[in-house]
Structures are given as structure tokens and as C-alpha cells.
Amino acid sequence: MSLLGQPGNSVKLVDRAKTKVIGAVTPGSSDSEAAGRAIREMFTSIAPRYDLLNHLLSFQVDRLWWRRAARSFRAILTEPASHALDLCCGTGDMTFALLRQSSGSGVRILGVDFSHAMLERARSKSAGTSLAWIEADALHLPFPDAQFELVTAAFGFRNLANYDASLSEMVRVLKPGGECGILDFGEPKGVIGRVYRIYFRQVLPVVGTMVSGVRGPYAYLPASVERFPGPAEMIERMRQCGFRTASWTPYTFGIAGLYRGKK
Ligand SMILES: C[S@@+](CC[C@H](N)C(=O)[O-])C[C@H]1O[C@@H](n2cnc3c(N)ncnc32)[C@H](O)[C@@H]1O
């Protein structure tokens, strides 16, 4: 589901005023490599309970969000010659949603994550499917330019140590006319927003910590969402990084939302 941190090794977002790098980083380390290592350890520590907690804490709405996001790219996914890449795939739920929308077209879908433990779970869930998994860093993708018609990232983008570097990598590996879809949390407004924030700040961290058995990561989640750039800034960044068009569609009152970009 989202971003996280651990006591003594907690993850926070870099102070935008003091540095040009915008993304999740670890305190005391200004380079994105060290930040990436800490983030990988953090996800590895919660991998065993990740799926359970995702569904529990989102009341299963996460499934609807993955499906809705994947459905937006049905035209690409039903094209047999297409290649799709799901970044920060974790245990693979967004990747599976993409596969389901392909309706057996034969599209090639790759899931990428840098946590071995998360990928092991994705692999064990995907036996007998055509999905393939690669252990790699989303900031340095091991692919030549212009390989994919579609690149997605669900609830992973916010955890990257350098947002602009990641957007530029997406643009690089997309074919001209290819599309990206970034599904991530937002901040709902009004009464719904107030109720949601009580749940997100006070209930979710307690349940997440209890069930995962790891102190810290789920307590950090609300802060990471609060600090994540809002839609206007994200759209501007997407344009600056090379997307010709960029848009945002809110899901469930803006609790989540899908950024779409076209190269
Ligand atoms: C919150 S999980 C999302 C997993 C899945 N997409 C989902 O929707 O449930 C974020 C994932 O991003 C991965 N991740 C974070 N930074 C990464 C990076 N630089 N390169 C590759 N994977 C990364 C983590 O290992 C983790 O599995």
C-alpha cells in the first residue's frame, strides 16, 4: 500500500526548500542510494504481512483501485504486440490487474521491484501465468530506450527517493505515444477528508503496527501522504520530465487517484 519508515531508520521526505532532490529519503543521508537501501529494507521487513494488511486497512477498496487503474489502459493491454511494465510491483497485485484486463491478448507484462522478499511473493502467486518479474531499481531501469507501450506504478511512486529521476526513467523506456499510469494516495477534502484523516492518522498506524509486528512503517504512512506533492505539482513535474500530456483522476473522493501521462 504505501510509504513507510522504521524507528531509528525512519523514512521521511526531503526538505524541498534545501535540496533539488524530491522524494522519500532517510534522515542524515542526502544521497538517493542510501535512501533507496533503507526503503528496500523497510518493505522487506513488512513483506510477510503486506497483502493481508493492504486488504485489511483499505477494507478491500485497494482491489477496486487496481482494477479501475488497469481498466484505463485496456486499449493497450488488449493489443497482443504490447509490452507493459509495472514498477514497484511489490507482491504483484497491480500487475495481476493488468493481466486480467488483457483478456488473454498475449501482451508481455513485467513486474519490477527492488525488494527480493516482495518479488518472491509475487512469483509464488503467479505460477502458471505469463507474468515475469525482475529485481531492479525503478530509478535505474535495466532496459534500453523505447521498449514499452505502458508503464505503471501503484502505491510505489511516492516511496521513490527521486521523483523526477523516476519520471524521466519512465519517459525513457516508453515508446513514443506510450502511456504511464501512477496510482497513489491523495488527500480528500471536506467532511470525508476529516473523517478519513482520523482513520488514517489514528487507527491505521495502530492496526498496521499490531498486525505487521514491525514498529514504525505504518505510523509513517499518513505523513508520507501529507508530504507527497499534490496533483497540480505532480502534473507539472510530469510535463517537465517529458510527458506531452498529464492528468489526474481522483478515486474514492480523492483518497487515491490515477496520474496518466503520454509520451
Ligand atoms: C507500497 S508497495 C506497492 C506494491 C504494489 N504496487 C501494490 O500496489 O501493492 C511499494 C513497493 O515499491 C518498491 N520500491 C520502492 N522504491 C523502489 C525502487 N527505487 N525501485 C524498485 N522498487 C521500489 C518497494 O520495494 C515496495 O515493494
Pocket test for ligand 1, best of 6, 62, 88 (most atoms within 8 A of CB): 88
pLDDT for residue 27: 53
**pLDDT tens digits along 217-259:** 777 677 778 888 999 999 999 999 999 999 999 999 999 999 9
What nine digits make up the cell of 28?
Answer: 542524515
Evaluate: CB of 88 within 6 angstroms of ligand 1.
yes
Sign of the CA dihedral 169, 172, 174, 178? positive
Exposed, middle or buried, 249 (CB in 10 Å: 0-12/13-18/19+)?
A: middle
Evaluate: CB of 156 within 6 angstroms of ligand 1.
yes
Evaluate: CB of 77 within 6 angstroms of ligand 1.
no
Evaluate: CB of 115 within 6 angstroms of ligand 1.
yes
Percent of the chain exceeding pLDDT 70 equals 89
What nine digits make up the cell of 207?
Answer: 492496526
Specify the higher pLDDT residue, 42 or 8.
Answer: 42
**pLDDT tens digits along 34-58:** 878 888 888 898 888 888 888 888 8
**pLDDT tens digits along 9-42:** 344 444 443 445 687 755 555 677 787 888 888 8
Please give the Cα distance from 65 to 57 (Å, whole number). Answer: 14
Contacts of 249 (CB under 8 A, 6+ apart): 72, 257, 258, 260
The atom of ligand 1 lying closest to the CA of 4 is: 1
pLDDT for residue 57: 81
Q: Is the pLDDT of residue 6 over 80?
A: no
Q: How confident is the model at residue 216 (pLDDT cuts 50, 70, 90)?
A: low
Evaluate: CB of 217 within 6 angstroms of ligand 1.
no
**pLDDT tens digits along 156-195:** 999 898 999 999 999 999 999 999 999 999 989 999 889 9
pTM score of the predicted model: 0.90
pLDDT for residue 178: 98
Q: Is the pLDDT of residue 68 over 70?
A: yes
